[in-house]
Structure 1
Amino acid sequence: MHIIEARNINKTVRSVDGDLTIIESLDLNVEEGTSIAIVGASGSGKSTLLALLAGLDVPSSGQIKLAGDDITSMDEEGRAQVRAKSVGFVFQSFQLLPGLSALENVMLPLELHGVADAGGRAKTYLERVGLSHRINHYPKQLSGGEQQRVAIARAFASEPKVLFADEPTGNLDSATGLKVIELLFDLNVEQKTTLVLVTHEQRLADRCQRQITLSAGDVVSDLNSSNAAIGLELSE
């Protein structure tokens, strides 16, 4: 089953030098439960593509379906409802609320979505990421790696169909980044959550079942991992 379907996606923005094309005529199918790395040089369109697939931005033309919903036909309120229902996010900057404890940061989106026993589920996921002893600490009291683990717990606690991650190890040292990578893929396997990752780190890309390389908004390489159990289909 295709959890993401993108057809003839184009993204053009205005600049002082005229229109700038960031994504051009891109087609992409992502199978449910797979892991995909989007790689490429800075300015290749990686983060823009992730934002489009996640419904955080809209293409200039083309169609994107996310978990069966045509998000390109929706207004922002509609896309927000799809994100709340189907999507989790992990960002390089963690994006934790400084005035909330680790537990409260994980609980907040669950409470907003009306999840019963948000506190119990939040504690469970913080335990899963090895932070049961830090649940009452605030972000400023946590290391970078611990903050990213809170962000991962928050993302997976909503049990999303798709998790989008933009440079999730970008602010972490090598050893801590490796632990975060292991955690992401452990939870991916256990929950069968589809992972769509933007990364500069080859070790993270290599863990994915597929790597798609962008250059100037075009797919220039589409590679399967030799260990992939489930494929991702790139449309012709």
Structure 2
Amino acid sequence: MRLQEDDLNNIIVTESLGKAVQTSDGTLNILSAINLTIKAGESLAIIGESGSGKSTLISLLAGLDTPTSGSIHIQGQSLTAMNEDGRAALRNALIGFVFQSFQLLPGLTALENVMLPLELSGNPQAKAMAAALLQRVGLAHRLTHTPKQLSGGEQQRVALARAFVTRPAILFADEPTGNLDSKTGATIIDLLFELNQENHTTLILVTHDAGLAARCQRTLRLSAGCMV
């Protein structure tokens, strides 16, 4: 089989990946024939104009959405052959997320937000691990603060800590500095790449920022749903 011959260092492999939806005007092809190989530990920037399919692509790669054609393999497992429970289990085991809008739970403290994914997996060291990572991102003095008591930059630091606390094999970051000013955004990006290197994580980053994309090892440009 093709997959058995693939380099074991390839953490994500897609073949002829496509996504189409039906509209009142007919079929709309959001992504077409995406053939992509991403190696373990690699950093990849996905760039392109708004509407080019960037967010759809990472949703497919993370198993948050399902393709209409083609296949996705993650660490040798066929993501496209899994049901929703299987995809959720794979996400919990392998994948972390950082979003533009932080996605913190407003009723939880910074510490509780970072502890949550560990608690869901039954990790008895959740509190200690979360506190240590919040200290690593410079928020040891903010453990008991809720998101509304934190600045945008501090909220994204909490989000970074939450993303890395499970030591994911793959981290998806969708416009992680989109809601931050340029100075704060630069600090967050420095921290993101530091944590990524420390944890040997595969980083897949969606961005409109050419300077940020240039910090990744490789860049993939999408245009109208196709690789350029």
In which range does the TM-score fall when normalised by the shorter chain?
over 0.9
- 1:184-224 deviation line (CA, Å, top 9, x unaligned): 1001111100000100112211110001100011111xxxx
| Residue type at the aligned position of 2:112 | E
8 Å Cα contact 1:69-1:82 kept in structure 2: no
| Residue type at the aligned position of 2:103 | Q
SS in 2 for 1:72: helix
The alignment of Structure 1 onto Structure 2 pairs a total of residues equal to: 220
Q: Which runs of 5+ in 1 are unaligned?
A: 221-236
Q: Which runs of 5+ in 2 are unaligned?
A: 1-8
8 Å Cα contact 1:67-1:161 kept in structure 2: no
The counterpart of 1:182, out of the listed 190, 195, 203, is: 190
Aligned to 1:11: 19
Aligned to 1:218: 226
TM-score (norm: length of structure 2): 0.95
Matched, 1:25 2:2: no
> What is the CA distance between 1:123 and its match in structure 2?
0.4
Aligned to 1:145: 153
SS in 2 for 1:196: strand
| Residue type at the aligned position of 2:36 | L
**Could you tell me the percent identity over the aligned residues?**
60
> What is the CA distance between 1:152 and its match in structure 2?
0.4
> What is the CA distance between 1:68 and its match in structure 2?
2.3
SS in 1 for 2:28: strand
> What is the CA distance between 1:15 and its match in structure 2?
1.2
| Residue type at the aligned position of 1:45 | G
Aligned to 1:127: 135
Aligned to 1:86: 94
SS in 2 for 1:158: coil
Matched, 1:162 2:170: yes
Aligned to 1:232: none
Cα distance in 1 for partners of 2:123, 2:47 equals 35
> What is the CA distance between 1:116 and its match in structure 2?
2.4
Aligned to 2:118: 110
> What is the CA distance between 1:51 and its match in structure 2?
0.4
Cα distance in 2 for partners of 1:87, 1:115 equals 17
Cα distance in 1 for partners of 2:25, 2:139 equals 49
Cα distance in 1 for partners of 2:210, 2:122 equals 38
